[in-house]
Chains A and B, each alone.
Chain A
Amino acid sequence: MTDRPTDRPDWIRDRLGIPPRLFWWVVLETIAAVATILVSVDQMVVYGGF
Chain B
Amino acid sequence: MSFVSFGFLGFLLLSLAFFHLVRTPRARRRVLGAANFAFLGTFIPDPASALAMLGFVVGSFALVAAVQTRRWPRVLWVTIPIAIAFLAWVKRYAFLGLVLPDAWLGHGLTIVGVSYMTFKTIHVLVDRHEEQLPPVHFWPFVHYQIGFFSLVSGPIQRYGDYLAFWDRIDRGPGSAEETVRNWGRVLGGIVKIGVPGALALAVWEAAMQGTAALGSFDAPLWRLCLIFYAYPVYIYFNFSGYCDVVIGAAGMFGMRQVENFDRPWLARNMIDFWDRWHMSLTAWIRDYVFLTSYKAVVQRWPAHARSGGVALLFGALLLAGIWHGSSWNFVVFGLVHGLGVAAARVWTDTLKQRLGRRGLQRYDANPWIRRVAVVATFHYACFSFLFFIPGLGRHLSHLASIWGEVLS
Contacts and interface: CB of A to CB of B under 8 A. Distances in A.
B242 A47 contact: yes
Nearest to B179: A18
Contacts of A50: 91, 110-115
B294 interface: no
A29 B71 CA distance: 55
B183 A45 contact: no
Interface string B109-144: 011111110000000000000000000000000000
Nearest to A29: B187
Contacts of A37: 4-6, 9, 190, 194
Interface in A10-50: 16-19, 22-23, 25-26, 29-30, 32-33, 36-37, 39-50
B3 interface: yes
A29 B242 contact: no
Nearest to A44: B2
Interface in B1-57: 2-6, 9
A49 B2 contact: no
A22 to B, nearest CB: 6
Interface residues of A, number: 26
Query: Most chain-B Cβ atoms within 10 A of its Cβ — which of A25, A41, A47, A50?
Result: A47
A45 B195 contact: no
Contact of B187 (A16, A26, A45): A26
B229 interface: no
A33 B191 contact: yes
A46 B110 CA distance: 14
A43 B112 contact: no
Contact of A40 (B188, B198, B242): B198
Contact of B153 (A16, A22, A49): A49
Nearest to B2: A42
A1 B403 CA distance: 67
A42 B110 CA distance: 19
Given A18-B177, A44-B2, A49 B113 contact: yes
B180 A22 contact: yes
A30 B153 CA distance: 24
A18 B180 CA distance: 8
Given A43-B4, A45-B153, A17 B176 contact: yes
Given A29-B187, A49-B112, 18 more contacts: A19-B177, A22-B180, A26-B180, A30-B187, A36-B194, A36-B195, A37-B190, A43-B3, A43-B4, A45-B153, A45-B242, A48-B116, A48-B153, A49-B115, A49-B116, A49-B152, A50-B111, A50-B115
29 contacts: A16-B176, A17-B176, A22-B177, A22-B181, A25-B184, A26-B187, A29-B191, A32-B195, A33-B187, A36-B190, A36-B194, A39-B194, A40-B194, A40-B198, A42-B2, A43-B3, A43-B4, A43-B197, A44-B2, A45-B239, A46-B238, A47-B153, A47-B238, A47-B324, A48-B325, A49-B152, A50-B91, A50-B110, A50-B111
Interface of A: 16-19, 22-23, 25-26, 29-30, 32-33, 36-37, 39-50
